[in-house]
Structure formats: C-alpha cells, structure tokens
A and B are shown apart, each in its own frame.
Chain A
Amino acid sequence: MSEIRLVVIDPSGLHARPAARFVQAASRFSSRIVLRQDGREADAKSLIALLGLTIRPSSEITLAAEGPDSDAALAALEAELAPYVSPAG
C-alpha cells in the first residue's frame, strides 16, 4: 500500500464541498483508497465516512491507496487536495 502524509492548511479543515470533490475523484480509480487521521480510517469513496472523520485545520492526514492504479490515484487525489493541504514534514 503506497501512502502520502499531508497537513491540512485550510482554516476550515476539509468541509463538504472539497470532501465531495475528493470522493468524486477517488471514485474514478479501482484501487482501495483510504484517508487516515488520528488512527481512524475512512473510505475515500464514501462522503459520509470522510465527513465522519471531521478533518480539522492543522491536523495530519494520511492518504493511502492499494491496487492496480494506486500511484495514479494518489497523484490525482493529492492534486485535488492541493489547495487545502501541504506535505507533512
């Protein structure tokens, strides 16, 4: 499973609209994709799971993908999140 770590920089965290865009982007890939925060994990293709994580500003999140198109999925989703995150140090 490949993964990338990111820090949320948007002052309102990851709210409904970007979360929905993220789910739409993730759904284009066949890989299993998850978003983790504080030991909790959400299916990146489910809006309710994602909103349930309540991703707050300054929190660190991990985006992980496993499957045939996992690298392309991570690249696309990192681009999708770009306005809201920065790479974790």
Chain B
Amino acid sequence: MGLILVSHSDTLVDGLRDMVAQVAGSEVAVATAGGTDDGRLGTSAPRIAEAIRDVLDRADDAVVLLDLGSAALSLELALEDLSDVDRQRVRISEAPLVEGAILAAVQASVGASVDDVVAAAESATTMAKLPRA
C-alpha cells in the first residue's frame, strides 16, 4: 500500500512527505509529483506517471492524493499512460491533501486494506481542525 502526493508545488509535497514519514513511519511507500518539469508551479502528467510507477514497484496498491482540482487533468493523462493492469491498482482520493495523506499513511502503516486507507483519507473531509469548546 503506497501513496502518491500530487501538488502544484514541489516544495509543498516535499515537506508533506517528511511529515508523513515522521508521523506514520517510513514503511509506507510514498512518492511525490510536484510542479512542472521546468520547476514552475503546476502539474506534469509525466511526473505523476513516474511517481505512480515508483510506488507500484514497491507496493501492491497505490492511492493518489491531489492538492487542487486542476491537478486532476494531469492525473487523467498520467493514468492513460499506465498499463491496464497498473491502472487497476491505483485509486484516486477526493481527500484534502495534507490531512488525507497523514490519515491514509497511518492506516496503511497498520496493514489496512486499500478500501480502509481510502476511507481514512476521505474522513479528513469532515475532520474538525480547531479544538471543540
């Protein structure tokens, strides 16, 4: 079970990868695809495809998390680039990137199924941020 973190910013997913490793441990395979090929803000289908392949080399299944919706267009192109078999092993999460990545990684680190990992990530959508009074 591995995660692919997709963002318009390479710096953002680099930091998030550190955070995920520190919170969930380093057993969960994580790859990042941030920014464009020439280092600008944006997303790149080839970089996303490469990150997905990297995770699929190390894990049976992969869950992709995105920062902003427009990354979904590049992701779609990246998925088209994968073989049918590989594509079956990839799930796309609607979860917010930071919270979703942390929750998914912790769930993955305890050996949960891919369905449980996706559900954990998506529970971040309604996660309270400020402490309740």
Q: Which residues of A contact B (CB under 8 A)?
A: 16-17, 20, 23-24, 27-28, 45-48, 51-52, 54, 56
> Is B102 in contact with A47, judged by CB distance below 8 angstroms?
yes
Most buried by B among A20, A28, A52: A20
Residues of the B chain whose Cβ atoms lie less than 8 Å from the Cβ of A20: 23-24, 102, 106, 109
- By Cβ-Cβ distance, the 9 closest A-B pairs, closest first, are A27-B110, A54-B131, A20-B23, A47-B106, A20-B106, A48-B123, A17-B23, A16-B23, A24-B110
Tally of contacts, chain A with chain B, CB under 8 A: 38
- Say how far B121's CB is from chain A's closest CB, in angstroms: 10
Residues of the B chain whose Cβ atoms lie less than 8 Å from the Cβ of A28: 110
Assembled-state Cα–Cα distance A52/B129 (Å) = 8
**Interface set, chain B 103-133, CB cutoff 8 A to A:** 103, 106-107, 109-111, 120, 123-124, 127-128, 131-132
Residues of the A chain whose Cβ atoms lie less than 8 Å from the Cβ of B111: 27
> Is A23 in contact with B23, judged by CB distance below 8 angstroms?
no
Q: Give the number of chain B interface residues (Cβ < 8 Å).
A: 18
Query: Closest residue of chain B to A47, judged by CB?
Result: B106
> Is A48 in contact with B23, judged by CB distance below 8 angstroms?
no
Query: Closest residue of chain B to A51, judged by CB?
Result: B127
> Is B124 in contact with A48, judged by CB distance below 8 angstroms?
yes
Residues of the A chain whose Cβ atoms lie less than 8 Å from the Cβ of B103: 47-48
> Is A23 in contact with B131, judged by CB distance below 8 angstroms?
no
- Say how far B68's CB is from chain A's closest CB, in angstroms: 23
Task: Find A56's partner among B24, B110, B131 (CB 8 Å cutoff).
Answer: B131
Query: Closest residue of chain B to A55, judged by CB?
Result: B131
Residues of the B chain whose Cβ atoms lie less than 8 Å from the Cβ of A17: 22-23
Task: Find A45's partner among B22, B110, B123, B128 (CB 8 Å cutoff).
Answer: B110
Assembled-state Cα–Cα distance A56/B131 (Å) = 9
> Is A47 in contact with B22, judged by CB distance below 8 angstroms?
no
Assembled-state Cα–Cα distance A85/B22 (Å) = 21
Q: List 11 A-B contacts (CB under 8 A).
A: A17-B22, A17-B23, A23-B106, A24-B110, A27-B110, A27-B111, A46-B120, A47-B102, A48-B103, A48-B123, A51-B127
Residues of the A chain whose Cβ atoms lie less than 8 Å from the Cβ of B23: 16-17, 20
